[in-house]
Structure 1
């Protein structure tokens, strides 16, 4: 999602810093696996 910041800023009408944090969180979550039993992300195998 590199380069997506300006699009997120515009789509959600949020400041650059908030868009950056949102994207960082999304990328971290996307790189892991959701453990539904424990309701948390775990490292992908």
Structure 2
């Protein structure tokens, strides 16, 4: 039995924090859509 403890705030698994930060950095906080990639003058990312 693994059990469950309800907490007042979300707790994220430490091993997944890097991936969570990467995903959140790709989402616009204003409109909640994916951000576009920046392209330099040569058209290369």
- TM bracket (short chain): 0.3 to 0.5
Query: Normalising by structure 1, what TM-score?
Result: 0.32
Higher helix content, 1 or 2: 1
Of the two, which has the highest radius of gyration?
A: 2
TM-score, length-normalised on structure 2?
0.32
Q: Which has the higher strand share?
A: 1
User: Which protein has greater RCO, CA pairs closer than 8 Å, 6+ apart?
Assistant: 1
